[in-house]
Amino acid sequence: MFKSLKWQGFQDPDGTYQLIRRLLRENLRQFAPQYALAFVFMGLVAASTAASAWIMRDVINEIFISRDSNMVYVIAGVVMLIFAVKGASTYGQLVILSRIGNAIVAGLQRQLFSKLARQDMAYFDKTAMGDVVVRINQGAADTRMALDMVIVTLGRDVLTLVGLVFVMLVQDPTLSAFALLIMPPAVIGVTLLVKRVRKHAKMQFVSTAQIMSIIQETTIGIRVVKAFGVENALQERMDGAVANVEKQSNKIAALTARTSPLMETLGGFAIALVILYGGYSVVNLGQDPGAFFAFITALLLAYDPAKRLARLQVNLNKSLVGVRLMYELLDDTPGIEDAPGAKALSVDRGAVAFKNVEFSYGEGLALRKLSLHAEAGKMTALVGASGAGKSTVFSLIERFYSPEGGEILIDGQDVTKVAVASLRSNIAYVGQDTFLFDISIRENIALGRPGATDAEIEEAARNANAHEFILEQEHGYDTMVGEGGNRLSGGQRQRVAIARAMLRDAPILLLDEATSALDAESESKIQAALGRLMEGRTTLVIAHRLSTVRHADCIHVLDKGKVVESGTHSELFAKDGIYRRLAELQFQDGKSDTAA
């Protein structure tokens, strides 16, 4: 492994060529006809440029030396034609390449989002949002830029250079050798610049991602930001990241610009050499001045594409940083996928069982050989201190993560062996931080079961005690709820979420009870709605108030990732255990209005 890595490194130290090959492989074929046309135009640009140098020979020899007045018109006409062809071809090439570029960006963004949305929870646990945003936006834009550079360079600049070098070689091979003397120092200089640019581009990327994260956190957590007056602290973090991006951008700009003095100096040197030797041959050895002029013109014209080639190296490597990070996301396979040949979960009654389940988020076990049973069609409550592992139990039932040991069975089927989509379609979740998308209330409810009719949606809303307040909204069911649902109150959001779960009509219901106190009226409406939702379903409730669990068919008390007590409210209350202590604590707080 180590050996093969080293060997690869020897061939291509940074994987740059591999990356470019992949870029071309994945994009060229798709747009082959368009690229072919663009290449034709680029060929025309190159040919007309070479022709404009070539014709200098006739300008000098026919007009200035032979003094042929007829040739003046012919040459003037040809020059006009050459430049008209060059202009039209450049136009064609630009338009076609832009269209391809835009299509590539659009395609990549679709692909990247699709990949992102299918990543597993572990990915989102470890990834900052800003990072993802920058990868998707900048990565796609950089890919387009890198491809454009490679194509235009190959197509136009290299072709043009080949044409001009051909003119130079034909007109004067000795002079050509002089001109090419500058190649080695140019290559060495550019290579050194490339290395440094790559380093700074990477740092710039990281800081740009930080900026995105800070903006995102500030807008999402704006209430906390304002309430705790942490604007200044955020500003400082932002200033730091912004200053870093500015600094890196300046570094990159300076390094890129450094190709100019490098190439200008070397170019000037070559031109001076050519003039010295060429001038000497024409003046003292009586050589054809037309050929000399054609040569000098070709050399001067070659100079621009050569400079662009040098700058390309630097710019290309800057873009490739973004391309690399984008491919990282595209190649990151989610850890949770259907096992080969996974069958759909077939739910009969919906009994859930954990058998010696072990799980860790990374360090330390969140669940330690946890076993529990949730009987079909009954209500099972999970209680315990915060951090005991209740939410983790829910996440594992939905297979957001895979257990590391033991088994989780639904009607006897191992959740890791059934198709993930079929598993999740049999589960409805109502959480405490009810998240709504910024779409209409109707669409938010319809997410429970895509394709549901308006009548079904309304029935679900009625059952969730949501119908009335929805009608009171300005546009009824078509009212937009705002980002995260912020135009609705907490209690209203919760009822929309219950309606969504009603519509889903899944046999298994996961309920994470709200901790925040609602007003008495909302509370009773929600309780009534939940009561209807739970009817006939296997329900697991994470209960924060013991009032909720009094009617549970079974209560599991969790502590440090294990079930330590199980039974009904009265059974557990009779024991002198954790449950009793929790219950007594709630009486003291006066929170548990009806706990006893």
Residues that bind ligand ADP (CB under 6 A): 125, 361, 366, 384, 386-392
What is the closest distance, in whole angstroms, from the C-beta atom of residue 144 to ligand ADP in the complex? 35
What is the closest distance, in whole angstroms, from the C-beta atom of residue 513 to ligand ADP in the complex? 11
What is the closest distance, in whole angstroms, from the C-beta atom of residue 220 to ligand ADP in the complex? 17
What is the closest distance, in whole angstroms, from the C-beta atom of residue 123 to ligand ADP in the complex? 11
Q: Which is nearer to ligand ADP, 196 or 368 (CB)?
A: 368
Fill in the DSSP letter of residue 244. H
What is the closest distance, in whole angstroms, from the C-beta atom of residue 370 to ligand ADP in the complex? 11
Place of tokens 């609602």: 518
Token representation of residue 252: 């990159």
Collapsing DSSP to helix, strand or coil, 460 comes out as helix
Residues 6+ apart with CB under 8 A from 220: 484
- CB-count burial class (<10 Å; 0-12, 13-18, 19+) for 245: middle
The side-by-side arrangement of strands in the sheet containing 405-410 is 365-374, 352-360, 405-410, 413-414
Q: Which is nearer to ligand ADP, 311 or 545 (CB)?
A: 545
Question: 118-127 long-range CB contacts below 8 Å, 24 or more apart?
Answer: 118/334, 119/332, 119/334, 120/334, 120/335, 120/336, 120/400, 120/401, 121/336, 121/395, 121/400, 121/401, 122/335, 122/401, 123/332, 123/334, 125/361
What is the closest distance, in whole angstroms, from the C-beta atom of residue 411 to ligand ADP in the complex? 24
Collapsing DSSP to helix, strand or coil, 380 comes out as strand
- CB-count burial class (<10 Å; 0-12, 13-18, 19+) for 135: buried
What is the closest distance, in whole angstroms, from the C-beta atom of residue 126 to ligand ADP in the complex? 9
Q: Which is nearer to ligand ADP, 17 or 361 (CB)?
A: 361
Angle, alpha carbons 461-462-468 (nearest 5°): 90
Q: Which is nearer to ligand ADP, 308 or 544 (CB)?
A: 544
Amino acid type, 333: T
- Strand ranges (DSSP E) for 4-63? none
Residues in the chain: 596
What is the closest distance, in whole angstroms, from the C-beta atom of residue 152 to ligand ADP in the complex? 46
Q: Distance between CA atoms of 165 and 48, rounded to whole angstroms?
A: 14
What is the closest distance, in whole angstroms, from the C-beta atom of residue 391 to ligand ADP in the complex? 3
410 has which bridge partners?
Answer: 352, 413
What is the closest distance, in whole angstroms, from the C-beta atom of residue 263 to ligand ADP in the complex? 52
The side-by-side arrangement of strands in the sheet containing 538-542 is 427-430, 508-512, 538-542, 379-384, 554-559, 562-567
DSSP letter for each residue of 404-437: SEEEEEETTEETTTB-HHHHHHTEEEE-SS----
Q: Distance between CA atoms of 51 and 43, rounded to whole angstroms?
A: 12
Q: Which is nearer to ligand ADP, 120 or 157 (CB)?
A: 120
Collapsing DSSP to helix, strand or coil, 175 comes out as helix
**Cβ pair 397, 367 in contact under 8 A:** no
Q: Which is nearer to ligand ADP, 390 or 399 (CB)?
A: 390
What is the closest distance, in whole angstroms, from the C-beta atom of residue 550 to ligand ADP in the complex? 20
Q: Quick one: how far is CA 186 from the chain centroid?
A: 37
Q: Which is nearer to ligand ADP, 265 or 391 (CB)?
A: 391
Q: Which is nearer to ligand ADP, 106 or 585 (CB)?
A: 585
What is the closest distance, in whole angstroms, from the C-beta atom of residue 387 to ligand ADP in the complex? 4
Four-point Cα dihedral 288, 291, 296, 298, nearest 10? 180
Place of tokens 């007594």: 584
Q: Which is nearer to ligand ADP, 262 or 558 (CB)?
A: 558
Q: Distance between CA atoms of 122 and 221, rounded to whole angstroms?
A: 23
Q: Which is nearer to ligand ADP, 383 or 534 (CB)?
A: 383
Q: Find the DSSP H helices in 454-519.
A: 454-463, 467-472, 490-504
Burial 448-486 (b: 16+ CB within 10 A, else e): bbeebeeebbbbbbbbbbbbebbeebeeebebbbeeebe
What is the closest distance, in whole angstroms, from the C-beta atom of residue 304 to ligand ADP in the complex? 55
Q: Which is nearer to ligand ADP, 368 or 487 (CB)?
A: 368
What is the closest distance, in whole angstroms, from the C-beta atom of residue 358 to ligand ADP in the complex? 13
Q: Which is nearer to ligand ADP, 501 or 542 (CB)?
A: 542
Q: Which is nearer to ligand ADP, 90 or 391 (CB)?
A: 391
Q: Distance between CA atoms of 240 and 253, rounded to whole angstroms?
A: 20
Q: Which is nearer to ligand ADP, 311 or 562 (CB)?
A: 562
